[in-house]
Amino acid sequence: MNHRYFKQATMIAMLCALAITLNILETMYLGFLPLGIRIGFANIVALLAIYLFGIKELILINFLRVVLSNLLRGTLFGSMFWISFFGVLLSTISLIILKKNKNSLIFSSLISSIFHSLGQIIVVCFIYSSPYLVSIFPYLLIVSLIAGYFIGKISLLILTRIKPIIH
């Protein structure tokens, strides 16, 4: 059996667990913020996944994160699940495109965080069937710019420390 394969599978499982834990902790302790604003600490793990492993692993970790964290919170296939699912879907697609174009990490984090909010707001408009809910998007845009910058910065700090250990 391939030693490298097992090492990578273990790493992915650990990153996945980290993302789920961050997601649930954030929902528990930052749920009081208005307009459903969240920092998105779990996206640190997504950035680490694409820069450490690759696109396939990013898709795997993000998909597992959404499904399992909603399963643990008991909101699987509810409205919250679809909101977070389409947010993550759009941010993953944008992250892959940005990585292919060789953009910097902080810029990728910013743009994917904006697309995350965009995907969520589109699904919210469909679920509540009122397009006027787009009017809270300006607030989300400002928050996702700030949060995306800091998430990118944190991921960069982690990446510079963790990369020599793994490779």
Partner 1 sequence: MENKEKKYLIIISIIAIVSLGLRIITHMFVKSKGEIVVTHQSVEVLRVDYTSNATYKIHGTVGILVLEVKDKKWRIVEADCPNHNCVNTGWVDQNLDIPIICLPNEVIVIYEP
Q: Which residues bind partner 1 (CB under 8 A)?
A: 103-104, 106-107, 110, 114, 135, 137-139, 141-142, 145
Beta carbon of residue 22, minimum distance to partner 1 (angstroms, whole number): 25
Residue 167 Cα to chain centre, angstroms? 24
Residues 6+ apart with CB under 8 A from 47: 95, 105, 108, 109, 151, 152, 155, 159
Smallest separation (angstroms) from partner 1 to the CB of 89: 21
Q: Which is nearer to partner 1, 6 or 139 (CB)?
A: 139
Taking the complex as a whole, the smallest distance from the CB of residue 107 to partner 1 amounts, in Å, to: 4
Identity of the residue, 81 or 107, whose beta carbon is nearer to partner 1 in the bound complex: 107
Q: Nearer to partner 1 by C-beta: 22 or 143? A: 143
Q: In this structure, what token pair is assigned to residue 96?
A: 């892959």
CB of 136 to partner 1, least distance (A): 8
Taking the least distance from each CB to partner 1, the nearer of 102 and 167 is 102
The residue type found at 27 is T
Secondary structure of 73-130 in the HEC alphabet? HCCCCCHHHHHHHHHHHHHHHHHHHHHHCCCCHHHHHHHHHHHHHHHHHHHHHHHCCC
Structure tokens at 72: 């643990």
Q: What is the closest distance, in whole angstroms, from the C-beta atom of residue 125 to partner 1 in the complex?
A: 16
- By beta-carbon proximity to partner 1, the closer residue of 106 and 158 is 106
The sign one gets for the Cα dihedral 76, 23, 72, 35 is negative
